[in-house]
Chains A and B, each alone.
Chain A
Amino acid sequence: MTAPVSHEVRTDAGIPVREVYTASDVGPDLERRLGSPGEPPFTRGPYPTMYRGRLWTMRQFAGFGSPEEANERFHFLLERGQTALSVAFDLPTQLGYDSGHPAAAAEVGRVGVAVDTADDMADLFAGLPLDRISVNFTINATAPIILAMYLVAAERQGVAPADLAGTLQNDILKEFLARKTFIFPPEPSLRLSCDVIEFASGALPRFNPISITGYHAREAGCDAVQELALTLASAIAYAERLAARGLAFDEFAPRLSFHFATTMDLFEEVAKLRAARRMWYRIATERFGATDPNAGRLRFFSGNSGTTLTAQQPLNNVIRSTIQCLGAVLGGAQSIHVMGYDEAFEIPSEDAVTLALRTQQIVALESGMPRTVDPLAGSYYVESITDEIERRAEAVVAEIDALGGAVAAIEQGVPQRWIAESAYRIEQEIADGTRPRVGVNVHVEEGEEVAAPELFALDPEVAERQVARTASRVAARDQAACRSAIDTVGVAAREGRNVMPPLIDAVRVGATLGELSDLFRQTFGEFREPSPW
């Protein structure tokens, strides 16, 4: 077997790598840069005992079809030992259209579950006690409406808001950067995100009202350094907006959570995650004057990278996912999602989902990884690239600051261009073979047909049933009460008051996601992305 020849060996993010590392590659004062686990600057982990105290949360992303079908998948996962839920919503729900809207026609229930009303949300969690299950919601532009529906679903189970645990993604900036399910222009979008965080910092003490993420920018093509810098620059933008509302950093910052990708370059990924904690602690204390250590304690969810998976020889993806899971564990993740090996094709099948969960369980229970905290600390190589990633990411944050911060940079399309150019470079490297992909450009099986494994099949009648159900629920509600509740949301939106309290009232009396999104569209306008070139 011949390895590709390169005169200069570099990490995935382009950091030059020496043949051997020694003590001289680790700068002075290592102890001070590391601290103890659970202590500032948190390089070694947010908690003192880490996985000895409590394993990470195994959180497989799931959801498709109607609320009933997604509910069945949730029960399926919990029965197999998953410890929390993570809800995927369909595109109409993410973009503020009810299932019956013409724009929704081809997409209902496809990439996630369709939720139009608080009744749908109650159906989604039927038989699942919400005071005992932590739930993650991948929702952004319509996050305030979805949170309102979740609170009403919990209310119907008799569960108080203070007892709810989980995370609302609610990071609208990365939608403009990479994920692209934005609706409104950046400033009003950011205001809605901050309404949620402000509301939650009083009413939802166990709930993370935002998950600030570079994951999607990474999946869209940027490198580990850019991913880290974009995440922190976004966090700075949210913190500045919240501080401008008169909220104390020490009050809201402990509930900010983060989300990173973990991809194939194992040591670089671990270094990135360790550097992330140290950098956030410094930003919290130096930029925002945090005095409560909890305000600078970075906690994160790690998602495996779907873009590293290949359609060729799909079982190879099991190995890729295992390596990425190890990276997340060695990097100190609080919760982890492992990709299904068939996700290059479709929503993962039940077999693939089970295997992804089993991957986490095998790492947790058989590998010995959780036995001690931050086992790679002190490695000459890992410490050296942790420092180097920190230096490089700081330079990128400074570049974003110079553009006027994350929002201004995004409005100018600058990071979007970085991401697209980096994605192109990666594809060129795969095409010319300098970036090896087993089964794609090396160790290719001649004559292999790219055959999809047994795929998940979506019931074609899901959309019709969902549209009919919403129509009958809308017909059955108290129309006058609903109209008046929607109008009250409109007043709050226009007058700059927090939209959460009136949204909860509106969805309780049956207002739909589409109606409330239309109201916001009328108030805030819609955003169209500027051309990247």
Chain B
Amino acid sequence: MSPTRVLLAKPGLDGHDRGIKVIAMALRDAGAEVIYLGLRRTVAEIWRAAVDEDVDVVGVSVLSGAHLPLARELLATRVSQHLDIPVVIGGTIPATDQQALLDLGVAAVFPVGASLTEVVDGMLRVARERVEP
């Protein structure tokens, strides 16, 4: 079985990248191939890279509080481009917004307090479910 391919990116203007880099290293240690796009990526750039790199899951991290508008834009573009790559989101996401993100079509939400294992296992599970639905 070929390794899971994961795209990680920070959309919007937020620069807090401690968490996403930790997740990148942990996913790599768990055997995944990780493409980290870095900071201030537009939704268009994220989907272009996801398609070019043929990834199994896209993970974005938002700690500025802008998770809802950014997720809305990310998922609207996924629909308009007829893509089926799942999206997960992590960051400072209050409990009250988690269901809203799931309703938008986000496959999993990792709020503050999620453990390293929860995030890594959760992302790999989402990626696997796409490959073997």
Cβ contact within 8 Å between B12 and A346: no
Interfacial residues of chain A within 426-457, with CB under 8 A of chain B in the complex: 427-428, 430-431, 440, 449-452, 455
Cβ contact within 8 Å between B116 and A431: yes
Cβ contact within 8 Å between A451 and B18: no
Cβ contact within 8 Å between A423 and B64: no
Instruction: Choose among B15, B25, B69, B70 the residue that contacts A424 (Cβ–Cβ < 8 A).
Output: B25
Q: Once the chains are docked, how many angstroms separate the CA of A254 from the CA of B18?
A: 33
Residue of A with least CB distance to B118: A431
Q: How far is the CB of A64 from chain B (nearest CB, A)?
A: 10
Cβ contact within 8 Å between A346 and B92: yes
Q: Return chain A residues, CB-CB under 8 Å to B66.
A: 106-107, 110
Cβ contact within 8 Å between B116 and A532: no
Q: Once the chains are docked, how many angstroms separate the CA of A458 from the CA of B97?
A: 14
Residue B36 CB within 8 A of the other chain: yes
Instruction: Choose among A175, A345, A421 the residue that contacts B112 (Cβ–Cβ < 8 A).
Output: A345
Interface string of B5-29 (1 = CB under 8 A from A): 0000000111111100110111000
Instruction: Choose among B25, B38, B69, B95 the residue that contacts A531 (Cβ–Cβ < 8 A).
Output: B38
Residue B113 CB within 8 A of the other chain: yes
A531 and B64 in contact, given A91-B14, A92-B13, A180-B17 (Cβ under 8 angstroms): no
Residue A221 CB within 8 A of the other chain: yes
Q: How far is the CB of B72 from chain A (nearest CB, A)?
A: 9
Instruction: Choose among B21, B70, B73, B117 the residue that contacts A420 (Cβ–Cβ < 8 A).
Output: B21
Instruction: Choose among A344, A423, A449 the residue that contacts B92 (Cβ–Cβ < 8 A).
Output: A344
Instruction: Choose among A97, A428, A452, A529 the residue that contacts B38 (Cβ–Cβ < 8 A).
Output: A529
Cβ contact within 8 Å between A311 and B21: no
Instruction: Choose among B14, B38, B94 the residue that contacts A455 (Cβ–Cβ < 8 A).
Output: B94
Q: Return chain B residues, CB-CB under 8 Å to A92.
A: 13
Cβ contact within 8 Å between A427 and B26: yes
Interface string of A232-272 (1 = CB under 8 A from B): 00000000000000000000000000000000000000000
How many chain A residues touch B (CB < 8 A): the figure is 48
Residue A363 CB within 8 A of the other chain: no
Residue B39 CB within 8 A of the other chain: yes
Residue of B with least CB distance to A421: B25
Cβ contact within 8 Å between A310 and B113: yes
Instruction: Choose among A110, A219, A431, A533 the residue that contacts B18 (Cβ–Cβ < 8 A).
Output: A219
Cβ contact within 8 Å between B64 and A450: no
Residue B96 CB within 8 A of the other chain: yes
Q: Once the chains are docked, how many angstroms separate the CA of A312 from the CA of B113?
A: 7
Q: Return chain B residues, CB-CB under 8 Å to A532.
A: 21, 36
Interfacial residues of chain B within 93-128, with CB under 8 A of chain A in the complex: 94-96, 111-113, 115-117
Cβ contact within 8 Å between B22 and A423: yes
Q: Once the chains are docked, how many angstroms separate the CA of A532 from the CA of B116?
A: 20
Q: Return chain B residues, CB-CB under 8 Å to A103.
A: 13
Q: How far is the CB of B98 from chain A (nearest CB, A)?
A: 10
Interface string of B42-73 (1 = CB under 8 A from A): 00000000000000000000001110011001
Q: Once the chains are docked, how many angstroms separate the CA of A146 from the CA of B18?
A: 27
Q: Once the chains are docked, how many angstroms separate the CA of A529 from the CA of B17?
A: 12
Residue A488 CB within 8 A of the other chain: no
Cβ contact within 8 Å between A345 and B92: yes
Q: How far is the CB of B111 from chain A (nearest CB, A)?
A: 7
Q: Return chain A residues, CB-CB under 8 Å to B39.
A: 180, 529
Q: Return chain B residues, CB-CB under 8 Å to A424.
A: 21-22, 25-26
Q: How far is the CB of A183 from chain B (nearest CB, A)?
A: 10
Cβ contact within 8 Å between A105 and B69: yes
Cβ contact within 8 Å between B65 and A221: no
Residue A521 CB within 8 A of the other chain: no
A107 and B12 in contact, given A531-B38, A532-B21 (Cβ under 8 angstroms): yes
Cβ contact within 8 Å between B96 and A452: yes
Cβ contact within 8 Å between B65 and A110: yes
Q: Once the chains are docked, how many angstroms separate the CA of A111 from the CA of B92?
A: 12
Cβ contact within 8 Å between A428 and B95: no
Cβ contact within 8 Å between B95 and A451: yes
Q: Return chain B residues, CB-CB under 8 Å to A455.
A: 94, 96
Residue A77 CB within 8 A of the other chain: no
Interfacial residues of chain A within 378-433, with CB under 8 A of chain B in the complex: 419-421, 423-424, 427-428, 430-431
Q: Once the chains are docked, how many angstroms separate the CA of A310 from the CA of B92?
A: 12
A180 and B116 in contact, given A111-B64, A528-B38, A532-B21 (Cβ under 8 angstroms): no
Q: Return chain A residues, CB-CB under 8 Å to B70.
A: 106
Q: Once the chains are docked, how many angstroms separate the CA of A129 from the CA of B16?
A: 34
Residue of B with least CB distance to A309: B112
Q: Return chain A residues, CB-CB under 8 Å to B117.
A: 431
Cβ contact within 8 Å between B115 and A431: yes
Beyond A97-B13, A346-B65, A346-B92, 18 additional pairs, beta carbon < 8 A: A106-B69, A107-B13, A110-B64, A111-B14, A220-B18, A344-B92, A345-B112, A420-B18, A424-B26, A427-B116, A430-B116, A431-B116, A440-B115, A450-B113, A529-B39, A532-B21, A532-B36, A533-B24
Show 17 residue pairs from A and B whose CB-CB distance is below 8 angstroms, ordered by the A residue: A104-B13, A106-B69, A110-B66, A111-B64, A345-B92, A345-B112, A347-B65, A420-B22, A427-B116, A428-B116, A431-B117, A449-B95, A450-B111, A450-B112, A451-B95, A452-B94, A458-B65
B residues adjacent to A (C-beta < 8 A)? 12-18, 21-22, 24-26, 36, 38-39, 64-66, 69-70, 73, 92, 94-96, 111-113, 115-117
Q: Which A-B residue pairs are the 10 nearest by beta carbons?
A: A180-B15, A311-B113, A91-B13, A106-B69, A106-B66, A311-B112, A450-B113, A424-B25, A420-B21, A431-B116
